Amino acid sequence: MRRLRNIKIVATLGPASNDYEMIRALHEAGADVFRLNMSHGTHDDIRARHAIIRQVEKDLDTTIGILADLQGPKLRVGEFKNGSEELVEGATFHLDLDDTPGDINRVQLPHPEIFAALEDGTTLLVNDGKIRLKVEHARETSAVCTVVAGGTISNRKGVNVPDVVLPLAALSEKDRADLEFSAALGVDWMALSFVQRPEDILEARELVAGRAAVLAKIEKPSAVKAFDSILAVSDGVMVARGDLGVELPVQAVPPIQKQLIRKCRAAAKPVIVATQMLESMIESPMPTRAEVSDVANAIYEGADAIMLSAESAAGQFPIEAVTTMNNVAVEVEGDPTYREVIEASRQAKRETVADGIVAAAREIAETTDVKAICCFTQSGTTAALVARERPRVPIIAMTPLRGTARRLALTWGTQCVLTGELERFKQAVVNSARAARTLGYAGDSDQILVTAGVPFNKAGTTNILRVAPCDERLIYSTDPE
């Protein structure tokens, strides 16, 4: 299914989008990757949605990526005797390990690891930052706090600790079970929540054992500080602006988003911008102008993908939300300013033969009338390197591995075509020309660029670049085998 845009769209599935007709409609409207939120739904629910996605993929003869999003450790206060209390600014409030129902003066915080990390002066945020507490006296099993910003605190509200790196594993027992289940199921991407350090990613990679690519969700200040080392061991990144905007001043999020996108692009690793992109479309068929500008901004910045959360999972207008994202992307990418911004932000990287090959391919495409860049890839690395260049012509990623094609569904501009195992470069040229013609990118008088690696079927060997004709007589008079 050929898209008229380069940026990819991720749609979260949920109660509003859990049957065949809706999931197929969402893909046809523009969803390239479906997100399965492991925070909601049973394993049976997830298995059923996974099966439907694969059936849609088969019926439409297309490639669809599936991302499993692990919940991560959830820090919450205990319960209150009255269900809730009203905290007043300037009041003293205690947190402790006692499971006695709370009152106006105290409540349980059943996480001894938090108390182990707290220091005097630490900030605690409750209920998505609506309530702000300052720790005055940190103890081993309790903390005396001053209410800096008051409000209603109620049962099981979430707690954020932005100032310190908590001695918490990024994978809870639930996460470990969900990881094994979804990896065995055959998802393409595994998203790890509340990453604080590169060791969190390394632990997940060991458990995934190559069955899926591992994506780091950046939603904590500690992850921003350690981003370079986290990126180095991740296959991709999600800028999760929800919790990031709770734990950091809201005005800090836009520049962080821009910085992370550029670093991901330089590393040739896909980056998703997520959270509240079209939030009003949960209840309205039309977005706000500010939301459209937010989506457009992520596209102008060069993100690989933009994501819908509740808009497609639980909203009243899931198809309209995907359609809106698609239309905004088509409009922005057609703006001459878009090309100026994208090309001005390109960072030259010439460290390997493959870097040089893909840079040369992009330069040739910009100075000649080449219609597409066809790259043969085993692991997806070559296609990701081509995408890093953000060329003006389409990218056709040729691979014999369906798993690679599905993972590339998250990478900017890639149109994946499954091909057989190759033995000779001549086969690569002929198969590329046929794919370009079939997809409607090239005709008889047109040329394409072909990149490949010899020996074939071995990752990391990209070493050939050729300009090839797409003449029908030449292609179909040649046996690619």
pLDDT score at 476:
65
Domain residue spans of the chain = 8-72+170-338, 84-160, 353-476
> How many residues appear in the chain?
481
DSSP string covering 333-387: HTSHHHHHHHHHT-----SSHHHHHHHHHHHHHHHS-EEEEEEE-SSSHHHHHHH
pLDDT score at 327:
98
8-72+170-338 and 353-476: identical CATH topology: no
pLDDT score at 477:
60
pLDDT-based confidence at residue 460 (cuts at 50, 70, 90): low
Mean per-residue pLDDT, 239-246: 92
pLDDT-based confidence at residue 456 (cuts at 50, 70, 90): confident
> Per-residue pLDDT for 97 more than 90?
yes
End-to-end CA distance of the chain: 26
pLDDT score at 474:
65
> Per-residue pLDDT for 481 more than 90?
no
Give CA torsion, residues 98, 104, 105, 111, to 10 deg. Answer: 40
- CATH tag, 353-476: 3.40.1380.20
Active site residues: 35, 76, 217, 275
Q: Which two three-digit tokens encode residue 161?
A: 């600790």
pLDDT score at 1:
72
Q: Determine whether domain 84-160 maps to CATH 2.40.340.10.
A: no
Contact 378, 399 (CB under 8 A): yes
pLDDT score at 170:
81
> Per-residue pLDDT for 480 more than 60?
no
pLDDT score at 428:
87
Mean per-residue pLDDT, 344-348: 85
CA 30, 3, 185, 171 torsion-angle sign: negative
pLDDT score at 2:
85
H or E segment at 480?
none
Side chain identity, residue 394: P
Q: Which residues pair with 416 in a beta bridge?
A: 397
Q: Determine whether domain 8-72+170-338 maps to CATH 3.40.50.740.
A: no
Closest CA to 107 of 160, 146, 154, 162: 154
For the chain, percent of residues with pLDDT exceeding 90: 84
**pLDDT tens per residue, range 37-75:** 999 889 999 999 999 999 999 999 999 999 999 999 889
Q: What is the chain's Cα-based Rg? A: 24
pLDDT score at 99:
95
pLDDT-based confidence at residue 427 (cuts at 50, 70, 90): confident
> Per-residue pLDDT for 478 more than 60?
no
**pLDDT tens per residue, range 144-191:** 999 999 999 999 999 999 888 888 888 999 999 999 999 999 999 999
Contact 72, 223 (CB under 8 A): no
